[in-house]
Structure 1
Amino acid sequence: MKAVQIKKYSKELQTEINEIPIPTITEEQVLIKVKVAAVNPLEILNITGAVKLIQDYPMPLTLGNELTGVIEAVGEKVTAYQIGDAVYTRLPLEHIGAFVEYAAVDAVALSPLPKNLDFLTGAAVPLTGLTAYQALHEELEAKAGQTLFIPGGSGSFGQMAIPLAKDLGLTVIVSGSPEAKERTLAAGADRYLDYKTENYWELIEPVDFVIDTLGKAELDRELSIIKPGGRLLSLIAGPNKRFAITKGMPKPKQFLLGLAGKTLDKKAKEKGVEYHFIFVRSDGEQLKEISRIIEKNQIIPAIDPRIFQLEDSNEAIQYVAKGHPQGKVLLRVDLKE
Structure 2
Amino acid sequence: MKAVMIEKFGPPDVLKIKEVDQPAHKTDELLVRVKAVSINPLDYKMRNGSLSPLGKLMLPKIVGSDFAGIVKDVGGRVQNFKPGDRVFGSLSPFKSGACAEYVTVKASQVVAIPDELSFEEAATIPIAGLTALQALRDLGKVTKGSKVFINGAAGGVGSFAVQLAKILQAQVTAVCSTPNVRFVQELGADYVVDYKKEDYRSSQEKYDFFFDVVSKASLKDALNILFETGIYTATLPTPQKVFKSFLSRGRVKIIMVKKKPEDLDYLAQLTVKKDLKVVISKTYALEDIQQAHIEIEAGHVRGKLVVEI
Query: How far is 1:57 from its partner?
Result: 2.0
Instruction: Give the letter aligned to residue 61 of structure 1.
Output: K
Count of matched residue positions in the alignment of Structure 1 and Structure 2:
309
Match for 2:261 among 276, 279, 284? 284
Distance apart, 1:201 and its partner CA: 2.7
Distance (Å, rounded) in 1 between the aligned partners of 2:202 and 2:115? 42
Work out the CA distance in 2 between the residues paired with 1:216 and 1:179: 19
2:130 is aligned with 1:130: yes
Residue type of the alignment partner of 2:109: A
For structure 1, the residue ranges without an aligned partner over 5 or more in a row are 241-259
In structure 2, the gaps of 5 or more residues are none
- State whether structure 2 residue 18 is matched by structure 1 residue 18: yes
Hey, which bits of structure 1, 4+ residues long, moved more than 6 A?
Answer: none
Could you say which residue in structure 1 is the equivalent of 2:205?
205
Shift of 1:99: 0.7
* Aligned-partner Cα distance in 1 for 2:289–2:142: 37
Within the alignment, does 1:237 sit opposite 2:252 as a pair?
A: no
Look up the match of 1:149. 149
In the alignment, what sits opposite 1:35? 35
Are 2:151 and 1:175 aligned? no
Aligned residue number for residue 330 of structure 1: 306
Distance 1:12 1:331, change over 3 A: closer
Report the RMSD for the aligned CA atoms in angstroms.
Answer: 2.5
Q: Within 2, Cα distance between the matches of 1:176 and 1:324? A: 9
Within-5 A mapping of 1:187-266: 187-203=187-203, 205-238=205-238, 261-262=242-243, 264-265=244-245
Normalising by structure 2, we get a TM-score of: 0.89
Deviation of 1:43 (Å): 1.2
Q: Does 1:311 align with 2:290?
A: no
The equivalent of 1:299 in structure 2 is 276
Deviations 1:240-278 (A, max 9, x none): 7xxxxxxxxxxxxxxxxxxx844x559x84xx8722222
Structure 2 match to 1:106: 106
Q: Secondary structure at the match of 2:52?
A: coil
The secondary structure found in structure 1 opposite 2:149 is strand
Shift of 1:107: 1.2
Q: d(CA) in 1 for partners of 2:12 and 2:64? A: 17
Q: Contact 2:64–2:93 (CA<8 Å) still a contact in 1?
A: no
Q: Does the 8 A contact of 2:36 with 2:68 survive in 1?
A: yes
8 Å contact from structure 1 (residues 36, 119) kept in 2: yes
Tell me the distance in 2 between the aligned counterparts of 1:281 and 1:239. Answer: 21
Contact 2:38 2:123 in 1 (8 A): yes
Is the partner of 1:161 in helix, strand or coil?
helix
State the alpha-carbon separation in 1 of the partners of residues 256 and 16 from structure 2.
Answer: 26
Shift in CA distance, 327/137, structure 1 to aligned 2, threshold 3 Å: closer
SS at match of 1:95: coil
Retained in 2: the 8 A contact 1:32–1:69?
yes
Query: CA 1:144–1:275 in structure 2 vs 1: closer, same or farther (change >3 Å)?
Result: same
TM superposition shift of 1:13: 5.3
User: For residues 312 and 190 of structure 1, do their structure 2 counterparts lie closer, same or farther at Cα, with a shift above 3 Å needed?
Assistant: same
Q: Which residue of 2 aligns with 1:69?
A: 69
- d(CA) in 2 for partners of 1:235 and 1:114? 28
Q: Deviations over 1:135-189 (max 9, x none)?
A: 1233223333322110221222122112222232322211212332333233232
- Equivalent-residue separation in structure 2 for 1:126 and 1:204 (angstroms): 35
Does residue 45 (structure 1) correspond to residue 21 (structure 2)? The answer is: no
1:254 aligns with none
Equivalent residue letter for 1:220: K
Q: Percent identity?
A: 29
Partner of 2:158: 158
Distance in 1 between residues matched to 2:192 and 2:224, nearest whole Å: 19
Higher mean alpha-carbon deviation, 103-112 vs 157-166, is at 157-166
Aligned residue type for 1:309? A
Q: 1:321 to 1:94 in 2, by over 3 A?
A: closer
C-alpha separation in 2, matches of 1:13 and 1:237: 27
Is the CA contact 1:25–1:75 (under 8 Å) kept in the aligned structure 2?
yes
- For structure 1, which segment, 150-159 or 62-71, has the greater mean C-alpha deviation from structure 2 after superposition? 150-159
Q: Quick one: which amino acid aligns to residue 134 of structure 1?
A: Q
